[in-house]
Structure 1
């Protein structure tokens, strides 16, 4: 009888201390951004492009422009340089700046931009991984104008966490490149 009592007690003790296993459904962080509405950027420089209306333009010296997204806490930094028999060095610098991120990048995808009608030629780089920037680009008319752009988030790079914002801004960068035009 004593053994039966000990057995029942031990069974109750061992089975009553277990946590119930509850299977939780898989979930993902859902970040929603407004549908992009574009308008022509208004500033007194030799180039113009379409910009998302949720962004704020901040003009700097030499026609450099910051396109700031307060809701995303990200900025697209645009740098303008005139082409003065230095196209090779401008292209080299833009490509080098991108490929300096290979240390942290998982991959870098290139998407060329060729628009002979509007005289806009360039390259869009999509950088996947925990690099400092996830998108860079350059556009030029090959004769007078050269614009580079880089997207930076005001946060430590964590590609998985910021991926929805990265995709949203990549669409805006594509739109900038497609709408780029030169003032003569």
Structure 2
């Protein structure tokens, strides 16, 4: 009996040790988002634009402030409107301050200016790279009466590699928003 058990155990030991196990490479979740389709949003605060149908617009605490919510990405773009009363430079400096406060964590900040004189739409678009709290920011103004600023935030820790597909998707949406932005 003991011999049978010993031979059985040795047989299983030889068979089970025949192939060397190899660790599986770690995989990442592949994030795919729908193709960009846009719908128009008209604010009672003298502007309109097109935004992604993948998102929804919600009112914020002030009458001319909005959230563009991307619930599946756990992201929100905060849009704020301010009337300009001979204080455009104050608003621009405040927007730039919000961007450059991230220099501690940002590996780079790319700035793109845009200028659509036929629609009186002027401003800057900022892309902050690295583990920053806000990855995309911009401001739009007509340079005399209106000023709109926007900031993208995720409801998660800033992990640039993990958030990159969502940031790229929302970046395209925000650039489309700027391209379709109009003052009333």
For the criterion TM > 0.5, the same-fold answer is yes
Tell me the distance in 2 between the aligned counterparts of 1:181 and 1:168: 22
Q: 2: distance between equivalents of 1:123 and 1:98?
A: 11
Instruction: Specify the alignment match of 1:122 in structure 2.
Output: 123
Structural mapping, 1:28-177, within 5 Å: 28-60=28-60, 61-177=62-178
Q: Secondary structure at the match of 1:100?
A: helix
The alpha carbon displacement at 1:176 in A equals: 1.0
* Residues 56-96 of structure 1: per-residue CA shift (max 9 Å, x gap): 11123231111101111100000100110001111100011
Is the CA contact (8 Å cut-off) linking 1:55 and 1:69 kept in structure 2?
yes
TM-superposed CA distance for 1:179, in Å, is: 0.9
Q: How far apart are the structure 2 equivalents of 1:180 and 1:31?
A: 29
C-alpha contact 1:79 1:148 (8 A) present in aligned 2:
yes
Stretch deviating more after TM superposition (34-43 or 111-120): 34-43
SS at match of 1:163: helix
- 1:159, distance to aligned residue in structure 2 (A): 0.7
Equivalent residues of 1:49, 1:180 under 8 A apart = yes
Shift of 1:18: 10
- TM-score using structure 1 length: 0.85
Is contact 1:62–1:80 with CA below 8 Å preserved after alignment?
Answer: no
Please tell me whether the aligned partners of residues 41 and 51 of structure 1 are also in contact (alpha carbons under 8 angstroms): yes
Q: TM-score normalized by structure 2?
A: 0.85
* 1:21 CA displacement: 5.9
**RMSD across aligned positions (CA):** 2.0
Number of equivalences:
169
Deviates more, 1:21-30 or 1:137-146: 21-30
- For residue 6 of structure 1, what is the aligned residue in structure 2? none
